[in-house]
Copies of this chain bind each other. A is one copy, B any other.
Amino acid sequence: MLTYLFIHLILQAKDKLIAHLRGIIQLSPNDEVIVRNSFKEICLAKKEVLLFTGEISSHMQFISEGCLRAYYMDEEAKEHIVQFGIEGWWVNDLYSYLTNTPAKQFVQALEKSTVLQIHRDTLNSLYNEVPAIERFFRLKFEKAYVAFQYRTIDAMAKTAEERYLEFRAKYRDIEQRVPQYMVASYLGITPEFLSALRKNLK
């Protein structure tokens, strides 16, 4: 019975991944088998760290359950959140992954979470075996790139208040799951200023 439940959970997580991929590309039944076998499941407790600064990130990671953050620490040991991720998102220190160099970011679970990992070498083979996967990641990076470009433009041209309102409109689900000081960190302001700013809105 316990085994049944365990296997059931694994299938659930991979089912989500397959559904996620099928939302963007086409996979034959054979492709699906190959893809399923290429990922392994990792369970994380709340606050558990998936990637430490200094380690080399060697996996792409799909969140099938829970909530994580990627952040780095500056010279003064202050944390700066680069990205949040919830179910259906990918999180990583991509620079480390892509260049095979030590990570500058941490990746940490903010809730009990389940992620699916694929090793760089496995993914690089998969690009040849299942070309649709290469297409998936080309499209993914295109989208991620323009999203980041707009975030950069926003960050430079808009006030903290405008950015906060946009964040709230766009990521209501995330705002309700993470502490306010982390939202401040993501927006690039102090928690004190976010607090003051929120007071003015009401």
Query: Which chain A residues have a beta carbon within 8 Å of chain B's beta carbons?
Result: 72, 74, 80, 82, 94-95, 98-99, 127, 131, 134-135, 137-138, 141-146, 148-153, 155-157, 188
**In the complex, which of the residues B72, B131, B150, B152 contacts A151, with contact meaning CB atoms closer than 8 Å?**
B152
C-alpha spacing A85/B120, complex, angstroms: 31
Q: Judging by beta carbons under 8 Å apart, are B134 and A138 in contact?
A: yes
Closest B residue by C-beta to A131:
B131
C-alpha spacing A134/B139, complex, angstroms: 10
C-alpha spacing A188/B155, complex, angstroms: 9
- Count the copies: 2
Q: Judging by beta carbons under 8 Å apart, are B80 and A146 in contact?
A: no
Shortest A142–chain B CB gap in Å is: 5
Offer 18 A-B interface pairs, CB within 8 angstroms, sorted by A.
Answer: A72-B153, A80-B157, A82-B152, A94-B149, A95-B150, A98-B143, A98-B146, A99-B146, A134-B135, A138-B138, A141-B144, A141-B145, A144-B145, A145-B145, A148-B148, A148-B149, A152-B155, A155-B156
